Amino acid sequence: MAQPLAPCGICRQVIREFCALEMPILLVPAGYESGKGDNDGAELLETTVGGLLPHSFGPDALDLPRTG
């Protein structure tokens, strides 16, 4: 059974910088065909940007005070 594919680290960071943490992300297995009844048991996995990249550095971190 094909596993859902996730974006690489660089792609995750770009997604994080331009999208809200609550934005849905669909992870799709290789060879998945939408509307096909049987995809050999392969299923879509739905998560969010925050779920995909927890404890991330994003645009909101730029406004935090710096010390040192």
pLDDT over 70 (residue 35):
no
Tell me the residue range of the domain where 14 lies: 4-54
The pLDDT assigned to 15 comes to 94
Confidence at residue 10, expressed as pLDDT on a 0 to 100 scale: 92
Examine residue 60 and state whether it is found in any structural domain, yes or no: no
Is 67 part of a structural domain of the chain?
no
pLDDT band at 33 (very low <50, low <70, confident <90, very high): confident
Say if strands 4-5 and 24-29 run parallel, antiparallel, or are unpaired: antiparallel
User: Among residues 49, 54, 51, 32, which one has the least CA distance to residue 41?
Assistant: 32
Strand partners, 48: 24
> In total, how many domains does the chain have?
1
The two structure tokens encoding residue 29: 């297995």
Give the confidence band of 51 by pLDDT, cuts at 50, 70, 90: very high
**Predicted pLDDT at 36:** 65
**Which position has the higher pLDDT, 11 or 66?**
11
- Residue at 39 is within a domain: yes
Q: Which two tokens stand for residue 60?
A: 């909101």
